[in-house]
Amino acid sequence: MASIAKLAAAFALGLGLLTPLTGACGGSGDQDHHHHVRSQPGATQPTAFPSSPLVWGDVNFLHTTDTHGWLIGHQKSSPPEPNYSGDFGDFASFVEHMRQEADARGVDLLLVDSGDLHDGTGLSDGFPAGDVDGHESNKFLAKLPYDILAIGNHELYIYNVTRDMHLNFAPQWDGRYLSSNVNITIPDKDGKATSVPVGDRYTKFKTKRGRKVTAFGVIFNFTGNAPNTTVQGVADMVKESWFKEAIIEEPDFFLLVGHMPVSQDNWPLVFNAIRAVHSTIPIFVFGGHTHIRDCVQYDGRSMALESGAYMETVFPFVSSGAKLDSRNRTQNLSVTRRYLDANRNTPTDILHKYHTTNSSEFDTARGEAITAGITDLANRFNLSYAFGTAPQDYYLHRVQYPGNDSLLSLLADKIIPVALKIGFPERANISNVIVANAGSQRFDLLKGPFTRNDQLVVSPFTNAFVYIPNVPFSIAKQVLGQLNSAGSPQRRTADGLESAEDYAAGHIQSRFDRWRQDQWARFGHRAANENFTLGYVTKDSCSGIGDDTIHSPIPYYPIPDYVGSPLPTNVPEDAGLDLIILDFFQNDTIKILNKLSSGGKQYTTTDVLPYGDIKIDQIHALYAEAVWN
């Protein structure tokens, strides 16, 4: 029988199951689409291809954001995962070829990233004890020629992570890792605690074609940062003397790269502060944080963009038409944007079919070295260790809950009850009611080997299971309904979005979910068209079609905020049993218990006890070893 100790031992094994994959070929069979496939071992190549050539302009951009450690690419075969099967080595090769193409055209191509490099896959989070989250995976980003990078909120939850970014990551970028409104308190050379920017506040540089750029890296008004880090409000930042002085000089364009959504947030404060001094200078904004594809123009000589998450999208933004150095500054910029799926079909098709690069020569030495390095790190972190084999796909939103294909049904009905019995056998024979929040699950659980990497992808959170003993069954069985009536542990506004307080703390899931729900509601009729593969179907505020590859929308169904295990049978209403929950919402549970007690026992935090040492990020592996092995 599996155990927490056995699970920990499995993580320490150096099995070396991942090996480089060479010599395989993929594609549609068409001569133009027959590509040498490298990527990561086991990655399934997509069957869809880009629909049209890119439009190039004077200044062009490639943008990454919210990568969250997904540099290894998406390796599952279940749609739409093959759309995003390219790894960071593939992306590196693409960047090099695009730079060569820009040189041949005599135009600029800039590469920017707007934060959240941590928390999402084993490549960033699977580090051994004593190391720092993301320290190793960030080394791959440092191998690419980024022009500007900005800090995200996931660089700020843990002080040691922020410190690592300040001491080890930022210095590699020669002043171009930007944290305009973020400081860290750190001892100076004399040992005195001093608050300094994590990176640099801003930078000024010239592009390869000699264009002058003034760049800032701004994060939203984040309040969930660790002690000894400081996030200044955006409204206060633009009043600072350093900011006012930085924007006096007129560049060819301003570049705002930061971890803040381009819609419904504070980019306009920064934009308007610049516009008050420079009414017509082009301003390009690259945001992030809400994990969506989005585009908006604040005026006719600007564009603001956001490009998804989890390395699903690489995003060239192309300025064309009105020249950036034109004397006629009243003319609007003619701009295009393209959301590119991150797979090998995308770059090889773009470069080979529409330009001059031979697809057999796509992989560069840098790209191949990064792919090999990712494979080696995955081996070091033992990410391919399989706890068992999932017999089918289980989805969070793609199917209705409850149902046989629902991850939440699997979680509540099977995974949690089985895992808790394994992990805390001392109370396995005591009747219980178990409640978990749906937000503890971050990603679908897909068919095939359930690996250590999958464990960290599906549920990267470390909230502990706790219990309140001897709760009357008549009360315990009402807790789930009461929690769902009260709503998510992140409070929401009347329109279903996170409250201002919870949004400031970093919660954005409802915004991402609404974006996906809108696609399904708007374009669901495409689902019957088998000419399209599943994927994102983007509608944003900019003109033209943004998606490079045409997809059918991914089905979307709402889910409850909380789910519960099957209620025990043949238990008297007044029988006392264990009410098992996660510590994440224990305070809300205590309030509900006291309400339901109707003047009886009043519960406090002293009634809450650890349910062994089991955490939410361990239960899928425990279940897989016990049931799917």
pLDDT digits (tens, 9 = 90+) for 260-272: 999 999 999 999 9
The residue-averaged pLDDT of 22-42 equals: 44
Of the ranges 39-43, 522-526, 605-609, which is most confident? 605-609
The DSSP secondary structure of 98-166, one letter per residue, reads HHHHHHHHT-EEEEEE-S--SSSSHHHH-PPTTS-TTTTTHHHHTTS--SEEE--GGGSSSHHHHHHII
Residue 347 pLDDT > 50: yes
pLDDT-derived band of residue 120, with 50, 70 and 90 as boundaries? very high
Look-up: residue for tokens 């960071």? 88
Residue 22 pLDDT > 80: no
The burial class, CB within 10 Å (0-12 / 13-18 / 19+), for 100 is middle
Identify the pLDDT of residue 324: 64
In whole angstroms, how far apart are CA 621 and each of 4, 44, 389, 514, 584?
10, 23, 10, 30, 21
Range scoring the smallest mean pLDDT among 120-124, 284-288, 316-320: 316-320
Residue 14 pLDDT > 70: no
Q: pTM to 2 decimals?
A: 0.91
Identify the pLDDT of residue 33: 36
Identify the pLDDT of residue 266: 98
Residue 193 pLDDT > 80: yes
Instruction: Note the pLDDT tens digit of each residue in 273-312.
Output: 999 999 999 999 999 999 999 999 999 999 999 999 999 9
Identify the pLDDT of residue 352: 61
The residue-averaged pLDDT of 68-95 equals: 95
More confident residue, 119 or 334: 119
Instruction: Note the pLDDT tens digit of each residue in 459-495.
Output: 989 999 999 999 999 999 999 999 999 876 666 666 6
Residue 37 pLDDT > 60: no
Residue 27 pLDDT > 50: no
The residue-averaged pLDDT of 125-140 equals: 96
Question: What's the chain's average pLDDT?
Answer: 89
Q: Identify the sign of the CA torsion 154, 157, 158, 159.
A: positive
Residue 12 pLDDT > 60: no
Identify the pLDDT of residue 472: 97
The residue-averaged pLDDT of 182-196 equals: 95
Whole-number percent of the chain with pLDDT over 90: 76
> How many C-beta atoms lie closer than 10 Å to residue 34's C-beta?
16
Look at residues 397, 390, 512 and name the one whose alpha carbon lies nearest to residue 68.
Answer: 512
Contact present, 149 and 178 (Cβ < 8 Å) = yes
Residue 30 pLDDT > 90: no
Longest dimension (CA), the chain: 83
Identify the pLDDT of residue 605: 96
Range scoring the smallest mean pLDDT among 44-48, 201-205, 414-418: 44-48
Residue 370 pLDDT > 90: yes
Residue 318 pLDDT > 80: no
Ordered by start, the domain boundaries in the chain are 57-380, 386-489+561-627, 492-537+547-557
In whole angstroms, how far apart are CA 290 and each of 305, 402, 522, 559, 615?
12, 27, 20, 19, 26
Contact present, 605 and 590 (Cβ < 8 Å) = yes
Identify the pLDDT of residue 350: 77
Identify the pLDDT of residue 49: 81
Q: Round to whole Å and give the CA distance between 367 and 89.
A: 4
The residue-averaged pLDDT of 346-369 equals: 75
In whole angstroms, how far apart are CA 418 and each of 245, 385, 410, 425, 609?
61, 21, 11, 10, 20
Identify the pLDDT of residue 351: 75
Identify the pLDDT of residue 437: 96
Instruction: Note the pLDDT tens digit of each residue in 447-466.
Output: 999 999 999 999 989 999 99
Fold held by 386-489+561-627:
5'-nucleotidase;  domain 2 (3.90.780)
Identify the pLDDT of residue 607: 97
pLDDT-derived band of residue 602, with 50, 70 and 90 as boundaries? very high
pLDDT-derived band of residue 334, with 50, 70 and 90 as boundaries? confident
Residue 321 pLDDT > 60: no
Identify the pLDDT of residue 333: 87
Contact present, 229 and 189 (Cβ < 8 Å) = no
Helix (H), strand (E) at residue 234: helix 234-237
More confident residue, 169 or 45: 169
Cα 486–492–495 angle (5° rounding)? 115
In whole angstroms, how far apart are CA 259 and each of 155, 208, 521, 526, 577?
11, 26, 28, 33, 46
* Neighbouring residues of 465: CB distance < 8 A, sequence distance ≥ 6: 420, 580, 581, 582, 583, 610, 611, 612, 614, 615, 616
Residue 18 pLDDT > 60: no
The residue-averaged pLDDT of 327-346 equals: 84
Query: Could you tell me how many helices (H) and strands (E) the chain has, helices first?
Result: 19, 27
Identify the pLDDT of residue 19: 25
Strands annotated E in 543-615: 551-553, 562-564, 576-582, 609-615
Fold held by 57-380:
Purple Acid Phosphatase; chain A, domain 2 (3.60.21)
Identify the pLDDT of residue 492: 67
